[in-house]
Amino acid sequence: MAIRGHILGVDFGTSNSSAGFFYDGRPRLIEMAPGKFTLPTTFFFDFETRQTLIGEPANQALLEGYDGRFMRTLKRVLGTPLMHEKRQILNERVTFVEIIGDFLHQIKSRAEAATGLIFDTAISGRPVVFHSVNDPREQQAEVDLRACYLAAGFKEVEFMAEPEAAAIASGALKQSSEISLIVDIGGGTSDFSLFQANQERITILANHGARIGGTDFDRTISFSQVMPLLGKGTQLRNVLGPETSVVPNAIFNDLATWEKIPFLYTPQNSRLAHEMSRLAIEPDKLRRLANVLDNQLGHDLAFAVEQGKIGANAGHKQSFILLDQIERGLTVPLPIEALARILAPHTNVLRSAVHETLQMANLHPEQVGRVIYVGGSSLMTVVVETMKILFPSAQHSFSDVFTAVTDGLAIASTRITQ
């Protein structure tokens, strides 16, 4: 089928999204806000104004304590039954397909307003794996994402693996035939692609991935370092008898998981937290949990963890997770050496995924001449150190990690038949 109209490259990300198109011989990014070429993939449904905010305004509404519902990391819902379940949001019952469709429509509208063009077609990045290899949800995830683009008003959508787009953006088509590895770690997935290129085409030697990203790093930090301050691991007195039992972990698991936080704010969970605080050996900790649920502070807590992670990764000598919004003066030390220890299980998974990628291509680490980092979470020190140990003789490239996929998609749009 012939594709008409202009083509917009869209990187719909777990944490941030961006868009671009090809013009005058090079990719051009769409300005999503003054001076900003990425848009936080966040939503805030304001209960007072009945408006839906996206991006930075959504983040600010949450942090300023507006009354409403905040959502993030909806990309991780693709392929699951949750995508098609209707839920009450403001004045209507909608599905996640419609919510994400509205977000993509905003990107489309901003691109059209900025350029004066009409974008009928999207070329969208997609992770190598949405969930895991051979997971039955994989095919459904792409079907769901296509439905979101159609709901946004696009007439056609093509998909390209995000690492392949990043390889194009890296200038691989102008390189020699050396073997390169894309390390693409975003908010929700980690993708690895080995490729060779010449002036005519990129040959993908192996694609592999794992459902690990920056939000998983945040979750692990929160669960291990912050949740004990809210009662994780503490003891409850039994109503009858002298025995004690450990506070159930389920509520802490959900509170540390971005996409599950909105579903914790129920009267039942608040009552449970208050009841546990009355039975707790350390009641002050459970009172903090009750405060978080009563005042819907879960996402404030998650942002604090994310900022603490960024500070620790930057090498700040006195890095803390600041929890003043939970309790004045409450902090959690997070030195860089602790960060490496906490995230070790994830780096082990990444290391295994890289070895599996090499095995798929029948290659050895010393045959890789260049490692190219893509996605904000690829800049984590623990990630870079892991890759440098695996590929000590390779060149390590860090340019344009936040927009490389979008640039590559824009360049790739020229290959689509008009």
Residue 268 phi/psi, 5-degree rounding, is: -65, -45
Q: What's residue 3's pLDDT?
A: 41
pLDDT bucket at 176, cuts 50 / 70 / 90: low
- Higher pLDDT: 201 or 68? It is 68
Tell me if domain 6-170+402-415 and domain 173-398 are identical in fold: yes
Q: Per-domain residue ranges for the chain? A: 6-170+402-415, 173-398
Residue 415 has pLDDT above 80, yes or no: no
Which range scores top for mean pLDDT: 193-207, 215-229, 256-270? Answer: 215-229
Q: Looking at residue 188, what is its pLDDT? A: 86
The answer to whether 123 touches 158, Cβ cutoff 8 Å, is: yes
Residues 6+ apart with CB under 8 A from 189: 14, 127, 128, 129, 130, 209, 210, 211, 212, 213
Q: Which residues contact 389 (CB under 8 A, 6 or more apart)?
A: none
Residue 2 contacts residue 80 (beta carbons within 8 Å): no
Average pLDDT estimate for 182-206: 86
Residue 5 has what pLDDT?
66
pLDDT at 15 over 50: yes
Whole-number Cα distances in Å, 383 to 146, 355, 387: 31, 14, 6
Tell me, what's the pLDDT at 418?
46
In CATH terms, the fold of domain 173-398 is Nucleotidyltransferase; domain 5 (3.30.420)
Average pLDDT value over all residues in the chain: 90
pLDDT at 175: 64
Return the pLDDT at 131. Answer: 84
Q: What is the pLDDT of residue 29?
A: 96
Q: Which CATH architecture has domain 6-170+402-415?
A: 2-Layer Sandwich (3.30)
Q: Per-residue pLDDT tens for 292-328?
A: 999 999 999 999 999 999 999 987 766 899 999 899 9
Instruction: Write out pLDDT tens, residues 226-265.
Output: 999 999 999 999 876 678 899 999 999 999 998 889 889 9
Q: What is the pLDDT of residues 45-103, one digit of tens each?
A: 999 999 999 999 999 998 888 888 888 888 989 999 999 999 888 888 999 999 999 99
Q: pTM of the full predicted structure?
A: 0.82
Alpha helices in 87-188 (DSSP H): 96-115, 137-151, 162-169
Distance CA 168, CA 27 (A): 11
